Each structure stands twice: as C-alpha cells, then as structure tokens.
Structure 1
C-alpha cells in the first residue's frame, strides 16, 4: 500500500491574476471578494500589491500601540490592525493600526475613509518614503482626520491633524500638532496621554 503525495491535493495559494495586473483593472469590489487565504494586500492604481511581512520590532510596536488604544479609547471607537482603507475608488492602503468608529461591518478587507478616525504607520527601512511622504498625502486627500507616524530606534511618535483649510498644494493637508519620544499628550481624537515607553519593545 502506497501513500499518494499530499501536495497534489492541496490547492495553490492565492495570487493576483497576472493579466489583470498588467491591465491594472482590479477594483475595490475585487478586494471584497478575496478568498480567506489571500495575503495582506494594497490596491495601488488598480494593481494589487502584496504587503510584505514586518520585522519583529515593527510588529511589537504595532501590537503594543493597538493594545494601548483598545484599552484607552472611548467605547465609540475601535482599534484594529491589518485592515485596509479605501483612499480612492482604485486605491487602498493598509495602516499598521487604525482607529475607527465602532459598529458596522467587521468582515471586510477594508473600511471607507468616513469610518476611520486615525491612521497609524510604523516606519521601517523599506517603507520610509511611503510612510513619510506618500501615505499622509493619500490619507489627507481621503479626509481621514488624524495621522500618526511612529519612527523606530528610538520610538518617537509624530501626531498630525487634518487642516481646516487647504494648504499650499490647494488640498487639505496634515499639520503637526504634537511629537514625543517620552509622553504624547493630545486632546484629539480623544484626550490621551500616551507614555512612549508603553509602546516600546
């Protein structure tokens, strides 16, 4: 009696269709219908990008911040990780942590900007340009009220608020309201005093 190879019975892991990738015609509807085994992805101008796995330090900071927000945010908010935001009809981004309005659908791969209160990016060597320059512009254009950028080594948090008036670009932009490597104190999105040591691995 011989055993059949198990590999022949296992389905291949999900991956984007190369033809559709070349055509750049993926949509938000496609992201809603991703299979459960799909990796973390972002949709950039109709092309699906697999989000690379973060480093251990990055994961530690992300997890600690998520836990801190879950513990301290008012009940009308909910902190989540590894869920995207639809910044346009053809683009999604996946903040490391986001704070959203509580309630509503919880099984989707992304939220609309109206559901998101705060987007947080933990900066890594491979994401510095995107997290410092590109994502803040996209989040601001989508109308997300608050953005935090967390730098590593040492951990330092920069907190931004969406400006009430258009900036030099003619669009609403983020303005820095606080930054600290020790204690981040803010009145919004809720009154908070975040000891940076509590999100430092």
Structure 2
C-alpha cells in the first residue's frame, strides 16, 4: 500500500520582506493581492496592515453612510472601505467617501479625481494619521473635501481645499465648519447634519 503525499496548504499572505525594505510596492501589487490578504493601505511603496476597528468606530461610518444615502445629491455615490490611489505607490481607504455617480461600479480603486469627499473616523491608534498625514495626502491629490470625525464625544470637522499652499507647493485644506450638534455646509451639496444622527 502506498500513500500519496498530501499537499501542504499555503500559509496566510504576508508582504515580501525584501520589497517592504526597498519600499517598491505599487498600486498594481495592491490590486493583485490574494483574497486572504488582510486589509492594507499602501504608503510610499510599503504595505501597512490596518488595525482592527472598534464597534464604536464602525457604528459612526454606518450611520453616516445611511444619512448620506438619504440626503446626498443625485450626482454623488456613497461608499465605504474603497481604495483611492493617491499616487503610483500610495493608496488610502477612507472610512466613508463620496464619489461621482458616473464612476463605473466595477472599480475597486478610485482616482482622486473620482472622489468628492473623504471621511476618516479618528481612533486612538490612528489619531496622528487621521489628523495630519491623511488630510495632507488627500489635499495634495486634489480631493476637494475632507471630514475628520472625532469620537467620545462625536465631533465633526469639515474641510475644503483652500488657496493656502504648503511647503512642497501643494494646496492645503481649510476648516469651514465644526461642531458636536449640527454641521451646516453648502458644499459638496446643501448639508444640515444633526451630529446626533451619526452618534452610536
């Protein structure tokens, strides 16, 4: 009686350590990730595994997405956890985004020109990234509007691209409204958002 060798299943996906050191991953590598890959962002050629969100963190984008679906202008589409290719070697995944309704439904990565609003929910582990890194990257890529939502208590900060230019020549966001009660904005559509409606 002979026994056939059994195939050893491959282990879980992990990034190539040499390419991580060289920081030479690209958007093409990101799009080619296998189905078992964790949720990652690509920053300057390096894959970064995103931390697990808390229940409170996840509740806010769900409530905001539901509110936006009811109120957003017809030429806009609401999405969650969709990648935005900011450059050939950087991609971020806003917690919520509004993109142009004309974007094809089969796209898994958007261009900055597709995105009208990017929203990040701030957690203790992402505080510095959401307050400083991501708004700088989104503004430099030309995304017109950015919202940062703080937790405990929920407080919304709404920004738009301004005329101010950063040290590298890139345009920067300016704060146009913030509040813990109601956010009223004329762009990207007429908004009167009661913050209680997105508070878990």
Give the structure-1-normalised TM-score.
0.90
Shift of 1:146: 0.1
- 1:5 matched residue in structure 2: none
1: CA distance, partners of 2:17 / 2:34? 17
Report if aligned partners of 1:32, 1:108 keep a CA contact under 8 Å in 2: no
Q: Indicate the larger mover: 180-189 or 101-110.
A: 101-110
Considering only aligned residues, what root-mean-square deviation do their CA atoms show, in Å? 1.7
Pairing of 1:101-140 with structure 2 (within 5 A): 101-140=100-139
Whether 2:86 is the aligned partner of 1:87: answer yes
Shift of 1:59: 0.4
Shift of 1:154: 0.6
Shift of 1:107: 3.8
Whether 2:165 is the aligned partner of 1:167: answer yes
The 3-state SS of whatever aligns with 1:71 is: helix
Q: Deviations over 1:107-162 (max 9, x none)?
A: 44421100000000100111111111111111000000000000111100000010
2: CA distance, partners of 1:188 / 1:112? 20
1: CA distance, partners of 2:95 / 2:110? 14
2: CA distance, partners of 1:157 / 1:15? 36
Give the structure-2-normalised TM-score.
0.90
- 1:3 matched residue in structure 2: none
Count of matched residue positions in the alignment of Structure 1 and Structure 2: 194
Report if aligned partners of 2:103, 2:114 keep a CA contact under 8 Å in 1: no
- 2:74 matched residue in structure 1: 75
- 1:4 matched residue in structure 2: none
Shift of 1:38: 2.2
Q: Indicate the larger mover: 70-79 or 13-22.
A: 13-22
Q: Deviations over 1:3-40 (max 9, x none)?
A: xxxxx765433222222212211101111222233221
Pairing of 1:1-150 with structure 2 (within 5 A): 10-150=9-149
Q: Indicate the larger mover: 39-48 or 17-26.
A: 17-26
Whether 2:160 is the aligned partner of 1:195: answer no
Unaligned runs of 5+ in 2: 1-6
